[in-house]
A and B are shown apart, each in its own frame.
Chain A
Amino acid sequence: MSRLLQTPFLPSVTLPTKTRSSVTGFRVKPRIIPIQAKIREIFMPALSSTMTEGKIVSWVKSEGDKLNKGESVVVVESDKADMDVETFYDGYLAAIMVEEGGVAPVGSAIALLAETEDEIADAKAKASGSGGGGDSQAPPTAAIEAPVAVEKKIAAAPVAVKAVAASAVHPASEGGKRIVASPYAKKLAKELKVELAGLVGSGPMGRIVAKDVEAVAAGGGVQAAVAVKEVVAAPSVELGSVVPFTTMQGAVSRNMVESLTVPTFRVGYTITTDALDALYKKIKSKGVTMTALLAKATALALAKHPVVNSSCRDGNSFVYNSSINVAVAVAIDGGLITPVLQNADKVDIYSLSRKWKELVDKARAKQLQPQEYNTGTFTLSNLGMFGVDRFDAILPPGTGAIMAVGASQPSVVATKDGRIGMKNQMQVNVTADHRVIYGADLAQFLQTLASIIEDPKDLTF
């Protein structure tokens, strides 16, 4: 076995022309950085006749370690067992090009071996130039491009949110110095290349859990809270300038783009609000707000139509949410956030109103906890206060439906008994994920909602 495997270990640097010509993807500059020193590549060995690629189980040595001939350097997984791969040359392990867990085709370089310590830097440049990742780009050519490639890497790096590490709210995280993340969250973060520092956890006691990492990777809203802290009121905008998104705006942007993957449709309804307006007038003095009334009415309707409160997470199934949490969109400086009225169907209207006031205050002070803005199962967006009579909302990823509420306006209405009268009416327009919620579902839901709003006595229970 070992005899067979000695062959791939060839000094490669002596063949620059040949390898370069085989690479098409790189601009080849005439300038060649001379690498006279012996930098050898460590190749993925063929451990069996059928093996086409191998997985790095673990690196026995780390970068910069001195290697002696015959020492194990890396453990490679084959179809039957893990194999220790050893070196036939003395030298230094200069650069690891395929990380643990990575897969590389047989014969491709997985690491570089420098003969002397001085050459480690050269080898490193060479390695970064080839882009790592187990592809078999010819290193000499890549070396020329090294500085460019390195820059690119840096530019691409901030996929992860680096900002405001201190916002992690775990009590034991020592002000964000320590990251408290669940085992799976850590694994996912590594896989999805998300940096955990600076993430706000939504798990118990602010722990970072898997869905927080997924949300960031998918451009989700968890880090929105981080952003809230950063945003400084900037009423005046310098015209002609390009202003990069804040983190929150970036999250919104990604969420909006992600929503395009959901097949949505819309159903509208006109609801008469005379009775609701009368009720509102009556209990306004007790601190009840219109938003709370609308949220309560919606929640009661949702309770009768659980499918509208469901969502589709994996494309294969309905997720019927156990509680009805109505999220209400609120515009704040530089973005928007959706505080959540949890169990809106069960909480009485007075408590709900107080809760709403508290949430709005917290949102303005940028003190919302993750569970206070990311647990919504149905979203309300109301632009009625601006006189908007109808609009169309985009479905936030992870939920099944959003309702756009327009202004309630006096309208001339023909009634069934042939008379003409004045009534206050508002238009609502629901956007829903058609994978789980169908037209008839929405129609029935809206009918129920209309009957609740038109006869609102149940709201004050």
Chain B
Amino acid sequence: MQSALSLSFSQTSLPLANRPLCSSNAAPSTTPRNLRFCGLRREAFGFSPSKQLTSRRFQIQSRRIEVSAAASSSAGNGALSKSFDYDLIIIGAGVGGHGAALHAVEKGLKTAIIEGDVVGGTCVNRGCVPSKALLAVSGRMRELQNEHHMKAFGLQVSAAGYDRQGVADHASNLATKIRNNLTNSMKALGVDILTGFGAVLGPQKVKYGDNIITGKDIIIATGSVPFVPKGIEVDGKTVITSDHALKLESVPDWIAIVGSGYIGLEFSDVYTALGSEVTFIEALDQLMPGFDPEISKLAQRVLINPRKIDYHTGVFASKITPAKGGKPVMIELIDAKTKEPKDTLEVDAALIATGRAPFTNGLGLENINVVTQRGFIPVDERMRVIDGNGKLIPHLYCIGDANGKMMLAHAASAQGISVVEQVTGRDHVLNHHSIPAACFTHPEISMVGLTEPQAREKAEKEGFKVSIAKTSFKANTKALAENEGEGLAKMIYRPDNGEILGVHIFGLHAADLIHEASNAIALGTRIQDIKLAVHAHPTLSEVVDELFKAAKVDSPASVTAQSVKVAV
């Protein structure tokens, strides 16, 4: 509780207090700001009796040493900093760049953002945002079509139908609205939005269009594009990527979705709700790889098996030809291991959801001797770009999908904020384990931290014990009131010290429920503390509360259902 208080205190109130100080001249302001920062922290910690917090305080102190070293060096370059056009130049105005820009302005940096396409990037224009609009429609359709579900409420609904163009418009209108909001928020704060493709010319020098500008620090945030494996011909009509699918130009009778990750799953939810039948093609042996196995098992039982979906696992789509001249879309499947031909599918459309590839071509990386790895820009834990010799390039950072650390919009934004923290004199390392992820199917899937196998592997290596707490949505009043009792929440934790290692939720509004766990992980809150917090009744948040309460901390002989192996 206390640590939560102190952190929020430092993050929100400090920059406000400092803004007038650092607006004119960055160099002298750094030192006092740091002093003040630590002073405040110390005050906050002064209240805390817990030993956890004292260890935290120790960290802070050591951090301060580093920071002041950085500050003195930047003070030495003070004259130089005046000769730059900008304090910070961000290449790419996606969610990552936007998050960084806003935070930079808050920190008093003169900031420019370069965008070659549309503001908002993938997330706003071709990703999270329009897909949520489609999923909002699919959720309602699903509900209205579920006669049994409606009957259980005592509701009568006559045959539900939809207008495809209307649904598509909802998605594009939402994207436009969010894009405008994003643009306006940056304009209002005085961020210069520069139009053109950005490229790095040399250290601290960037080109966009025909203009060359200099910046003290540069962030590359160019994001990613849909990855299309070779052999697949995308025509944008019958063989499509998520970019096309979000426009919802057609609802095919039968669509094959290549890849059963987040993107594929969400689209299967949309298409089946709108009346399509879906065939998944997954290269791994199991659908939904990457999710906790128990969650993916349950998800398969709820999201796949009862729906008009079938699947081929352990196969690659080696060749996909778009529909032409009255012929359907042809998909050739080969065994993922032996590469032998296995099957041919003829479908009305194919959606390629095999992941995303970094968009780093034409960035001028060769000018600064950066060698990409499969397109990704190598960075260290502070997002500092590493060159071909393994050396850090000063003043150059890369965030978001382009570095491939965690390809999520909010991770990019968090990385951007972390970088701004660093360049304004506060060392910061983002804890990626605390970044939640969600898949907005009906019901939703969300997760943070490690999966059970990952946690067990780590436990084995580091020699600690792992326990699992589980609870069902069937036990939650609010979920039952909504007739949505299908769902599972699962927490993986250390029984010895109460550390949360991972939380996985499958059920109604799972994406909203995960944050209590992700915040606890980010702040280092232990189960024994958070389990005393109170949740409003009846709410879905009690599912997570139930998890915390079900955990048996400090008893090595945990009674929780660790292994579900059962004998006959």
Q: Which residues of A contact B (CB under 8 A)?
A: 1-2, 5-6, 8-9, 42-43, 45, 47, 57, 70, 72-73, 76-77, 79-88, 170-172, 178, 180, 182-184, 186-187, 203-205, 207, 209-210, 316-317
Q: Is the CB of B568 within 8 A of A9?
A: yes
Is B470 at the interface (CB under 8 A from chain A)?
Answer: yes
- Check if B568 sits within 8 Å of A42, measured CB to CB: yes
Q: Is the CB of A88 within 8 A of B567?
A: yes
Known: A184-B308, A317-B158. 9 other contacts (CB 8 A): A47-B566, A57-B301, A85-B566, A85-B567, A170-B346, A180-B346, A187-B308, A207-B254, A316-B159
B278: nearest residue on chain A (CB-CB)?
A183
Beta-carbon contact of B309 and A5 below 8 Å: no
In the complex, the answer to whether A43 meets B279 with C-beta atoms within 8 Å is no
Q: Does the CB pair B568–A88 fall under 8 Å?
A: yes
Q: Which residue of the partner chain, among B278, B309, B330, B568, contacts A87 with CB atoms under 8 Å?
A: B568
Residue interface mask B298-333, A partner, CB < 8 A = 1:
100100000011100000000000000011101000
Contact across chains for B564 and A83 when beta carbons are under 8 A apart: yes
What string of 1s and 0s marks CB contacts (under 8 Å) between B234-253 and chain A?
00000000000000000001
**A182 and B277 contact, Cβ closer than 8 Å, known pairs A80-B488, A203-B253, A317-B158:** yes
Contact across chains for A82 and B297 when beta carbons are under 8 A apart: yes
Q: Are A183's CB and B567's CB within 8 A?
A: no
B566 & A172 in contact (Cβ 8 Å cutoff)? no
The reply on B217 being an interface residue by CB < 8 A is no
Q: How long is the Cα–Cα vector from A203 to B309 in the complex, in angstroms? A: 17
Interfacial chain A residues near B279, Cβ < 8 Å: 183
In the complex, how many residues of chain B place their beta carbon closer than 8 angstroms to a beta carbon of chain A? 31
CB distance from A174 to the nearest CB of B (A): 9
Asked if B294 is at the interface of the complex by the 8 Å CB criterion, the answer is yes
> How many whole Å from B179's CB to the nearest CB in chain A?
36
- Who on chain B is nearest to A88 by CB? B567
Closest chain B residue to A44, Cβ basis:
B568
A87 to B567, CA, bound (A): 6
Instruction: Assess the A183–B566 pair: CB atoms within 8 A.
Output: no
CB within 8 Å for A80 and B565 given contacts A183-B278, A187-B308, A203-B253 = no
A203 to B474, CA, bound (A): 40
Q: What's the nearest-Cβ distance from chain A to residue B293, in Å? A: 10
With contacts A84-B565, A86-B566, A187-B308 taken as known, whether A172 is within 8 angstroms of B470 at the C-beta atoms is no
Closest CB pairs A-B (n = 5):
A184-B308, A183-B310, A9-B568, A2-B567, A183-B277
CB of A84 within 8 A of CB of B564, answer yes
Decide if B308 touches A5 in the complex (CB within 8 Å): no
With CB as the reference atom, state the residue of chain A lying closest to B568. A9
A selection of 14 A-B contacts at a CB cut-off of 8 Å is A1-B561, A2-B565, A43-B568, A45-B567, A70-B567, A79-B474, A80-B472, A81-B470, A83-B566, A84-B564, A87-B567, A178-B344, A184-B308, A187-B310
Contacting residues of chain B (524-568) with chain A, CB-CB under 8 angstroms:
561, 564-568
Once the chains are docked, how many angstroms separate the CA of A316 from the CA of B346?
A: 35
Query: Which of chain B's residues has its CB closest to A317's CB?
Result: B159
Residues of B within 8 A of A172 (CB): 328, 330, 344, 346
Residue of A nearest to B471 (CB): A80
- Contact yes or no, A81 B566, CB < 8 A: no
Q: Is B452 an interface residue (CB 8 A)?
A: no
Do residues B277 and A184 form an inter-chain contact, with CB atoms below 8 A?
Answer: yes
Closest to B328 in A: A205
Counting chain B CB atoms within 10 Å of each CB, the highest count among A1, A170, A209 belongs to A1
Question: Is B470 a contact of A80 with CB atoms below 8 Å?
Answer: yes
Complex Cα distance A2/B566, Å?
5
B266 interface residue, CB < 8 Å from A?
no
A77 (CB) vs chain B CBs: closest residue: B301
Contact assessment for A81 and B564 in the assembled complex, using a CB-CB cutoff below 8 Å: yes
Q: How far is the CA of A455 from the CA of B430 in the complex (A)?
A: 84
Pair A6/B568 contact, Cβ less than 8 Å: yes
List of A residues within 8 angstroms of B115 by Cβ = none
- Chain B residues with CB below 8 A from A76, complex form: 566
CB distance from A137 to the nearest CB of B (A): 19
Q: Are B344 and A79 in contact (CB under 8 A)?
A: no
Contact between A171 and B294 (Cβ–Cβ < 8 Å)? Answer: no
Contact present for B566 and A5 (CB under 8 Å): yes
Interface: B348 (CB within 8 A): yes
Docked pose: A42 CA to B348 CA in angstroms:
45
Shortest CB–CB separation between residue B87 and chain A, in angstroms? Answer: 53
Q: Which residues of B contact A87 (CB under 8 A)?
A: 567-568
B314 → A minimal CB distance (Å):
16
Q: In chain B, residues 249-308, which have Cβ atoms closer than 8 Å to a Cβ of chain A?
A: 253-254, 277-279, 294, 297-298, 301, 308
